[in-house]
Amino acid sequence: MAYTVLVIAVDGHLRSETVACLDDLQKLVGGYIESLPLTEDSGCYVNEDGIQLQLPRNELATQVCTEFEIGLAPDDYIKGPMVVFGVDDSVEGYCDVPPEVEQRIRLMSAGAVHDGDD
């Protein structure tokens, strides 16, 4: 079953993509995928080998991890693109990225969400 994901490119550009299989996800992150939870109904994939491949730092994806409190170490960051997806156990596990998650990330991208350093 195909579903829509939100891709966060390393330059902070956001785009929606339709994926149908593991190969589609691997193409979006540029290699093997590693899953990280975001909310009860969403998660994300990043490149499992981002460090070894020396992928560039993804500031927005790192900010997303901080905002959603997924537990990155203080000196850790996301390398390469991030793919955000929806989770729904009633439909084989994956579904479209939830609108409220996508909206929150888009607001972060626009600079509307701050980390409290104002």
SS3 39: strand
| Stated pTM of the model | 0.89
25-50 tens-digit pLDDT: 999 999 999 999 999 999 999 999 99
Q: Band of the pLDDT at 55, cuts 50, 70, 90?
A: very high
Q: Give me the sign of the Cα torsion angle 69, 67, 42, 3.
A: negative
Q: Give me the sign of the Cα torsion angle 11, 17, 21, 24.
A: negative
Q: Rounding to the nearest 10 degrees, give the CA dihedral for residues 96, 99, 104, 106.
A: 80
61-98 tens-digit pLDDT: 999 999 999 888 888 899 999 999 999 877 668 899 99
* pLDDT the model gives residue 115: 45
Instruction: Give the separation between CA 97 and CA 56, rounded to whole angstroms.
Output: 24
Instruction: Give the separation between CA 12 and CA 97, rounded to whole angstroms.
Output: 18
Q: How many CB atoms lie within 10 A of CB 2?
A: 10
